[in-house]
Structure 1
Amino acid sequence: MFLTYKILVCDDEKEIVDILSVYLEKEGFEVFKVYDGVEALNFLKENKVHLALIDIMMPKIDGYRVVNELRKDSNIPVIMISAKSRDDDKILGLDIGADDYITKPFNPREVSARVKAMIRRVYKLSESNELKDEIIEIGDLKLDSYNVKVHLRDEELELTSIEYKILKYLMENSGRILTKNQIFEAVWNEAFLGGDNTIMVHISRLREKIEDNSKSPKYLKTIRGLGYRFEKEK
């Protein structure tokens, strides 16, 4: 059975919502339109979507707060769109749980391509006819790639889709030193251009969730000047 993916587009500029909707619908997505942060949160409480495009500067509640509230009980992929292009703004967006960040003005075809790529990465496991029950256990961490869940001892962790992808890649390659380049290209499936704090931000957030003491990590080690290594169970 063919699955139609549902996309929420939230921006207070109606023209932007309309143009993005046109391009996304051409790709076969079902698009829902909202125009402020309150509307977005109310919609997401009552409806299931597969991905949300959220503008930052909106009336009533800004995009940062929308994502922050959403992440309390949902790990759907979120792409932030904003005229704010400073690195600090991008880092803040990623730090509160966004999976990607696109600056205005943008090419709607690029946004559509990013949405397609994110959907493919996050949901391709559920579409495969060759799924296998695969569990990776290292120390107190258990990653279940069939059900896309991670447990620390008996507690299920709330990870964003990108955090899950990074953790899975690291655990699959435990004991190996992995560079930022390798991690980025494996998770985002695109070339790493360097000079970006994206990996560092996600690693930091991941440590907060999987480590008992993020300042002295047991699992996710930084190898100065080289990259990161996920320690094998001793």
Structure 2
Amino acid sequence: MKTILIIEDDPYIAELQRDYFLLHNYKVELCHDGSEGLRKAQSGEYDLIILDLQLPGVDGFEICRQIREQLDVPVLIVSAKKEEIDKIRGFGLGADDFITKPFSPNELVARAKAHLARYERFTDNKPKVVNTIEIRELSINKSSHRVFLNGKEVAITAKEFEVLVFMATNPNQVFSKEELFEKIWGLESSGEIATVTVHISRIREKIEADPSNPQFIETVWGAGYRFTV
């Protein structure tokens, strides 16, 4: 049974989220304080984290940042903050999704299920046949979920890895932000395609010698992005 940690200071909202996840056979723990929530999240005992931004103690942005530095676990932000800058900041810190309040509990559960399924696909510990993509100085091992540049391992999140693998296995094809969002996140975009730009930028910072002049993931102005081999 998957275990979900909900870090939310509003008891009503936290309990609403909990009840819907319990109906779908998830184990749920609630936390109403940012400091305690961060401590629990860092234990590594949870399969997915639902995170509010406006919390006492430590705010959600800082919690997200520290989680992503230490763990590779799906993080879904659920917040009353609706400004584009807040969403971009959340995605930039490594959040996998950003849902604004008020929200549909059924949609929240559906999104959580989708992220858990994708996370499992890339972190399955069962033995597999090694499947490596070699492109110039870049090496992507799909079996071990590892990326190497000039023989040196690159730290990369599960979602960044998924974006990179998708583009590298579809070289020289142009994908719009909307297409990438649909194919990678598997959800209706609802205007939240800013996460695509953020993830592409973060990947470039890690694999490009000069992110401002990318040689792997190129921008095709007015169309989208292309992985060049």
Tell me which residue corresponds to 1:216. Answer: 213
Shift of 1:6: 1.8
Residue among 102, 105, 109 paired with 2:106: 109
1:89 pairs with 2:75: no
- Check conservation: 2:122, 2:158, Cα contact below 8 A: no
C-alpha spacing 1:169/1:97, structure 2 compared with 1 (3 Å):
same
Aligned residue type for 2:135: I
Shift of 1:151: 2.2
C-alpha spacing 1:39/1:172, structure 2 compared with 1 (3 Å):
same
Shift of 1:48: 2.3
Give CA deviations for 1:121-154 in whole Å, capped at 9, x if unaligned.
2213556989543111212222222222222233
Tell me which residue corresponds to 1:137. Answer: 134
Q: Using the alignment, how far apart are the partners of 2:146 and 2:64 within structure 1?
A: 21
Stretches of structure 2 that go unaligned for 5 or more consecutive residues are none
For residue 53 of structure 1, give the secondary structure of its aligned residue in structure 2: strand
For residue 46 of structure 1, give the secondary structure of its aligned residue in structure 2: coil
- Check conservation: 1:7, 1:52, Cα contact below 8 A: yes
Q: Using the alignment, how far apart are the partners of 1:201 and 1:119 within structure 2?
A: 21
1:230 pairs with 2:204: no
Q: Using the alignment, how far apart are the partners of 1:127 and 1:75 within structure 2?
A: 13
Q: Using the alignment, how far apart are the partners of 1:147 and 1:175 within structure 2?
A: 25
Single out whichever of 24-33 and 98-107 deviates more from structure 2.
24-33
Q: Using the alignment, how far apart are the partners of 1:183 and 1:24 within structure 2?
A: 28
Tell me which residue corresponds to 1:147. Answer: 144
- Check conservation: 1:8, 1:52, Cα contact below 8 A: yes
Residue among 15, 20, 39 paired with 1:18: 15
Aligned-pair RMSD on alpha carbons? 2.1
Give CA deviations for 1:146-194 in whole Å, capped at 9, x if unaligned.
2222222333333232211111111101222222232122101134466
Pairs within 5 Å for 1:1-234:
4-124=1-121, 132-192=129-189, 196-232=193-229
- Check conservation: 2:131, 2:141, Cα contact below 8 A: yes
C-alpha spacing 1:66/1:128, structure 2 compared with 1 (3 Å):
closer
Q: Using the alignment, how far apart are the partners of 1:10 and 1:35 within structure 2?
A: 6
Q: Using the alignment, how far apart are the partners of 2:152 and 2:5 within structure 1?
A: 30
- Check conservation: 2:4, 2:28, Cα contact below 8 A: yes
C-alpha spacing 1:170/1:7, structure 2 compared with 1 (3 Å):
same
Q: Using the alignment, how far apart are the partners of 2:68 and 2:169 within structure 1?
A: 26
For residue 156 of structure 1, give the secondary structure of its aligned residue in structure 2: strand
Single out whichever of 107-116 and 143-152 deviates more from structure 2.
143-152
For residue 109 of structure 1, give the secondary structure of its aligned residue in structure 2: helix
- Check conservation: 2:181, 2:193, Cα contact below 8 A: no
- Check conservation: 2:2, 2:26, Cα contact below 8 A: yes
C-alpha spacing 1:94/1:154, structure 2 compared with 1 (3 Å):
same
Using the size of structure 1 for normalisation, the TM-score is 0.89
Give CA deviations for 1:21-75 in whole Å, capped at 9, x if unaligned.
1111221222122112211221122232221111000011100000111121222
